[in-house]
Amino acid sequence: MTDRPRTPAARRTVALGAGALLAVSVLTATGAGTAHAEPGPSAPSDFVPSPPPPVEVDQNAPGLMMRDGATLKEPKVLDIRSIVEEQGGAERREDSNSQTKFTLQAEVLFGKDSARLNGEAYARIEDIAAEIDKQGAAEVNVFGFTDNLGSYEHGTKLSKQRAEAVHRQLLEELSADVTFNIRGYSEDYPIADNSTEEGRRKNRRVEVSFPRGG
């Protein structure tokens, strides 16, 4: 595996919902600015506005009536997903209706081919522990992953050791009893292309996830 120094980058936030991707304004990590919409393109010269809806709706109109025997589908709640990335993607937080997941690239936590936390890792893990406490999570997953360099067996051992190192530090920070699931997955379940160093860097990671509270 190859480690590279982190470079600061702007935070970008992406909201995913109902299978659609919505781009939102980029904010700095500490700023509280006002977003301004850019003016849209002019309407085509042959554009004709749609007619306004009728004031009264005929409830017996054939187009509004269901065929005999038809029923409405059960309503469902769309899974709205919010993603925040920092440090050029080295840190990532993902919130859905049911779960919060933190993903940290190995380089921001460990040295090359090491499972020993570096000096900057403690503050990052402390922030995650604070969120676990805030949401009152009783069960937390800590999963380690590597790229596809080296043997699969070495990747399995290293990814498990890294997950355990994060787990031990979370225990130091948490104020309540939590059940942990700790796994090392080696090169399984990549999130990027292992044929490039950029992709391998993303695949070398530790994920901490837990159910959303409230």
* CATH number of the domain that residue 116 is part of: 3.30.1330.60
The pLDDT of 62-71, averaged and rounded, is 74
Domain total of the chain: 1
pTM of the model: 0.64
Within-domain flag for 199 = yes
Q: Does the pLDDT of residue 209 top 80, yes or no? A: yes
Average pLDDT, the chain: 78
Question: pLDDT per residue over 78-89, tens digit each?
Answer: 666 788 887 677
> Residue 82: what pLDDT?
80
Within-domain flag for 33 = no
Q: Does the pLDDT of residue 121 top 90, yes or no? A: yes
> Residue 73: what pLDDT?
77
Which range marks the domain in which residue 200 is found? 100-211
Most confident range (mean pLDDT) of 26-30, 63-67, 104-108 is: 104-108
Dist CA 71 CA 65 (whole Å): 11
Dist CA 169 CA 174 (whole Å): 9
Question: pLDDT per residue over 92-111, tens digit each?
Answer: 999 999 999 999 999 999 99
Within-domain flag for 178 = yes
Q: Percentage of residues in the chain with pLDDT exceeding 90?
A: 54
Within-domain flag for 52 = no
Name the band, by pLDDT with cuts 50, 70 and 90, for residue 171: very high
Within-domain flag for 66 = no
Within-domain flag for 153 = yes
Within-domain flag for 2 = no
Within-domain flag for 47 = no
